[in-house]
Amino acid sequence: MTSDAVLALIESHRDERGIQHWNQRHADSPMRSVGVGLTKLRKLAKQVGRDHELAAELWQSDLYEARVMALLIDDPKKISREQAERQVEELEGGQLAHVFSSCDASLAKVRYVRELADDWMGSDDAMRQRCGYGLLYEMSKSKKKSAPDDDYFSAWIAHIDARRGAADADLLMAMAGALMGVGKRNARLHGEALALARAIGPIDWDPTGKCDPFDVVKHLDNERLRTKLGV
């Protein structure tokens, strides 16, 4: 598909309610939106398919949904470290950070994902830290033999504990997302992640006050998960 065809596809799913929501929450953003939600965009991305060159074109758009599509359809085999470092600097206002590093992101499938996550979580740059924790969440879901071992994840739980006191709400949310993923991996990590989630408590992330605080404990301390993990 061409970039014009993808833009037309996105436009065909225009949602006025979504546009209103975007304008209320992101009035200062240099990007515009046609109100299409992430769930729909992920379905559309499957229609488009992997295309590195097309992703590069869409990334240049000022349309939020086009940039999301770029992140979803990019080819992990062709995403260079240079590209990753460039794009993390271009995540306008943070609205794209979650899709960039999580949500089954293309970036999480690159061959150097562990190295990238380690570097970014250890960075002093807040956006890189947020995206690093997003990558940690994605790695926590891996069932591959090449996935990191328990000691790796435990070390990063300890790292989050050490740095959470200086984190703002956005960074805390990224940390919490990583804990949620790691804590579902097995019994040992569940215990470690749950203990830290309780120490952190609910995160008041919405400055408008319209959304409830995010509490990782609710995602980790439930009968279904405990039964699954045998804890």
Q: DSSP readout, 108-130?
A: GGSTTHHHHHHHHHT-S-HHHHH
The structure's pTM equals 0.93
Q: How far is CA 23 from CA 16, 18, 28, 173, 208, in A?
A: 11, 9, 9, 22, 14
Range of the domain at 47: 1-74
Residues of the chain with pLDDT under 50: none
Which CB contacts under 8 angstroms, 24+ apart, belong to 222-225?
225/184, 225/190
In a domain, 64, yes or no: yes
Q: How far is CA 43 from CA 33, 39, 69, 133, in A?
A: 18, 7, 10, 25
Q: What is the pLDDT of residue 209?
A: 77
Inter-residue contact 29 to 52 (CB < 8 Å): no
Q: What is the pLDDT of residue 208?
A: 75
In a domain, 193, yes or no: no
In a domain, 26, yes or no: yes
In a domain, 173, yes or no: no
In a domain, 8, yes or no: yes
Q: How many CB atoms lie within 10 A of CB 160?
A: 24
Rounded to whole angstroms, the Cα distance separating 35 from 18 reads 4
Q: What is the pLDDT of residue 43?
A: 95
What single-letter DSSP state applies at residue 32?
Answer: B
In a domain, 209, yes or no: no
In a domain, 52, yes or no: yes
Q: How many domains does the chain fold into?
A: 1
In a domain, 184, yes or no: no
